Amino acid sequence: MQIRELTIPDSYEITPKQFGDDRGVFLEWYRFDKLAEVVGHPIDLRQANTSVSKRGVVRGIHFADVPLGQAKYVTATHGAVLDYVIDIRVGSPTFGKWDTVLLDDKDRKAIYISEGLGHCFVALTDDATVSYLVTDVFNAPREHGINPLDADIALVFPEEAGEALLSPKDTDAPSLAEAAASGLLPTWADMREYYASLNAAFTTPKEQTR
């Protein structure tokens, strides 16, 4: 597989190698060792989620308190979504910026989003099925949101998504500025320390074979 860092530091696009024949297709959509070599540590998977969405459904922007936070490894197993990673780390050089990866059942890409980053997607097809591997179980008091329609973030939804369909929970969420003012957001400095602590105890598979 190929792993490429996005314009938001600590987020990655993963493109698997697909093996097709007259029976269908085989691929590895997650490899802990390949990801660990790039990220600096293996992700400690604690929960797997699946959502099915109508075309136009927007889910997010979501994030969780750190520690532990909730790093995510996300792919689409049916249909297509445009997946967004949003930098909500106060003091980051890309604070308030975002990048995207198209997740669909053709290229079968995945996206890895580190702890402390915001996550959102919009469904481009009906019955868009998205599966997430995450590093902590759901903990409602530690889960937060930012309004995906915040004009300062200015997410752009593709025309093929049609009319945006959002939950009241997401539209009632604070703006990025409001979340920052209330002290809800992680800081760039704290997250750099946290990532370093995860990396410190890990020896990469390459180092183990030397």
pLDDT of residue 206: 54
| Residue whose tokens read 């308030």 | 96
CATH topology of domain 2-201: Jelly Rolls (2.60.120)
**Catalytic annotation on 41?**
no
pLDDT in tens, 23-67: 999 999 999 999 999 999 999 999 999 999 999 999 999 999 999
Q: For residue 150, is pLDDT > 70?
A: yes
| Residue whose tokens read 């249909």 | 79
Predicted TM-score of the model (pTM): 0.93
Average pLDDT, the chain: 95
Q: What single string gives the DSSP state of each residue in 156-209?
A: ---GGG-S-B--HHHHTSPPHHHHHHTT-S-BHHHHHHHHHHHHHT---HHHHT
Q: For residue 210, is pLDDT > 70?
A: no
Q: Lowest-pLDDT range, 59-73, 143-157, 191-205?
A: 191-205
Q: For residue 17, is pLDDT > 70?
A: yes
Q: Please report, rounded to a whole number, the percentage of residues in the chain having pLDDT higher than 70.
A: 96
The residue annotated as part of the active site, out of 41, 62, 73, 195, is 62
Q: For residue 152, is pLDDT > 70?
A: yes
The residue annotated as part of the active site, out of 73, 132, 194, 195, is 132
Q: How confident is the model at residue 204 (pLDDT cuts 50, 70, 90)?
A: low
Q: How confident is the model at residue 202 (pLDDT cuts 50, 70, 90)?
A: confident
Domain boundaries, the chain: 2-201
Map residue 140 onto helix, strand or coil: helix
**Catalytic annotation on 144?**
no
Q: What is the mean pLDDT of residues 177-184?
A: 97
pLDDT of residue 201: 76
Backbone angles phi, psi at 91, to 5 degrees: 95, -10
Q: How confident is the model at residue 209 (pLDDT cuts 50, 70, 90)?
A: low
pLDDT in tens, 72-122: 999 999 999 999 999 999 999 999 999 999 999 999 999 999 999 999 999
